């Protein structure tokens, strides 16, 4: 297996402080680029737009952020116009991304899908907020991803955290799966396709329903409604699962080298 992180790891080990500075200035550059695009209207800040539907999308994010108690300030939802130069993804999947620790962005054509599928929108936002709550866009995690072999733990943990932030892990499992199957449905084999970083859509759906089962069994989630009833307990279960998932992912990626 080719070790794509070898060079990054060597740079890091040579001078960790300098490496930290480098990743940190990359983040500053990205922020500056986003601000410039907001000023020139190639990226739209949902809450500042005069479109009531976009404003409502931000309100959905605000409500989850406030209920979760995990965000000092709710993440800002950005909508990329086709003229935006800031990278999201080249593929034609509907997508949303946690860009920096404070921004979540969606593509303009994803926005049109999401407006007609608000349950799926809420679940996808919860997933991206899961990345942010886990600190995945922070410098420390960015470095960890750069220097270690890639593995699936980041997405698994974003989904588990996303289910808690969403507030109803059973609905989260249902709607995220619906969204994923819709996106991957164009190709029959795709629901079973997994990568070094992502579970297959089938695998993800199974994992998320099991995650809801665990939260339910341990008393963090109401059996009838699927709502989180004990957030403190849900976070304790998450933190326990985090340590185990991290260990397993590390064993997995190192043994495959
Ligand atoms: Zn993700």
132 CA distance to ligand 1 centroid (A)? 10
Q: Is the dihedral of CA 124, 241, 249, 21 positive or negative?
A: positive
Site of tokens 């794509």 = 4
Average pLDDT, stretch 22-45? 96
Predicted confidence (pLDDT) at residue 253 exceeds the cutoff of 80: no
Edge-to-edge order in the sheet of strand 43-45: 43-45, 76-80, 103-107, 96-100
Query: How far is the centre of ligand 1, averaged over its atoms, from the C-alpha of 100 (Å)?
Result: 13
CB 68 within 8 A of CB 169: no
SS3 183: helix
Model pTM score? 0.93
Q: What is the pLDDT of residue 244?
A: 82
Pick 170 or 244 by higher pLDDT: 170
Q: In Å, what is the CA distance from 15 to each residue of 10, 18, 20, 21, 145?
A: 9, 5, 9, 10, 17
2-32: pLDDT as tens digits: 666 888 899 999 999 999 999 999 999 999 9
Interval between CA 221 and ligand 1 midpoint (Å): 23
Residue entry with tokens 């960015």: 142
Average pLDDT in the chain:
91
User: pLDDT category, 86, cuts 50, 70, 90?
Assistant: confident
Ligand 1 centroid vs 151 CA: distance in angstroms?
12
* d(CA 165, ligand 1 centre) in Å: 14
Q: Tell me the mean pLDDT in the region 158-165.
A: 98
% of the chain with per-residue pLDDT over 70: 91
What is the 101 CA–ligand 1 centroid distance (Å)? 14
Q: Which of the 8 DSSP states describes residue 221? A: B
**DSSP class of 187:** S
How far is ligand 1, taken at its centre, from the CA of residue 94, in Å?
13
Ranges of each domain in the chain: 6-255
Give me ligand 1 centre to Cα 19, in Å: 25
For the chain, report the end-to-end CA distance as a whole number of angstroms: 5
156 neighbors 238 (Cβ within 8 angstroms): no
In this structure, what DSSP letter does residue 219 have? T
Give the pairing of strands 76-80 and 43-45: antiparallel
Taking the centre of ligand 1 as the mean of its atom positions, its distance from the CA of residue 172, in whole angstroms, is 14
Between the CA of 14 and the centroid of ligand 1 the distance, in Å, is 30
Distance 136 CA to ligand 1 centre (A): 10
Instruction: Label residue 102 left, alpha or beta by phi (over 0 means left) and psi (-120 to 50 means alpha).
Output: alpha
């Amino acid at each position: 297996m080719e070790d794509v992180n070898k060079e990054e790891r060597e740079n890091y080990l040579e001078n960790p402080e300098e490496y930290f500075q480098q990743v940190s200035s990359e983040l500053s550059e990205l922020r500056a680029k986003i601000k410039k695009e907001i000023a020139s209207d190639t990226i739209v800040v949902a809450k500042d737009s005069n479109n009531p539907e976009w404003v409502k999308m931000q309100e959905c994010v605000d409500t989850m952020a406030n209920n979760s108690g995990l965000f000092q300030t709710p993440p800002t939802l950005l909508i990329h116009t086709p003229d935006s130069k800031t990278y999201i993804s080249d593929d034609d999947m509907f997508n949303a991304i946690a860009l920096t620790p404070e921004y979540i962005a969606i593509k303009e054509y994803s926005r049109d899908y999401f407006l007609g599928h608000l349950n799926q929108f809420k679940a996808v936002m919860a997933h991206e907020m899961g990345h942010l709550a886990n600190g995945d866009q922070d410098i420390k995690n960015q470095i960890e991803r750069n220097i270690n072999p890639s593995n699936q733990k980041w997405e698994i943990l974003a989904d588990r955290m996303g289910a808690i932030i969403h507030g109803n892990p059973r609905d989260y499992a249902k709607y995220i799966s619906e969204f994923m199957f819709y996106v991957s449905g164009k190709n029959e084999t795709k629901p079973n396709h997994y990568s070094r970083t992502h579970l297959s859509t089938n695998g993800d759906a199974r994992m998320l329903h099991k995650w809801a089962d665990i939260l339910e069994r341990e008393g963090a989630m109401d059996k009838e409604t699927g709502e989180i009833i004990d957030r403190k307990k849900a976070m304790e279960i998450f933190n326990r699962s985090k340590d185990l998932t991290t260990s397993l992912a590390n064993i997995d990626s190192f043994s495959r080298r």
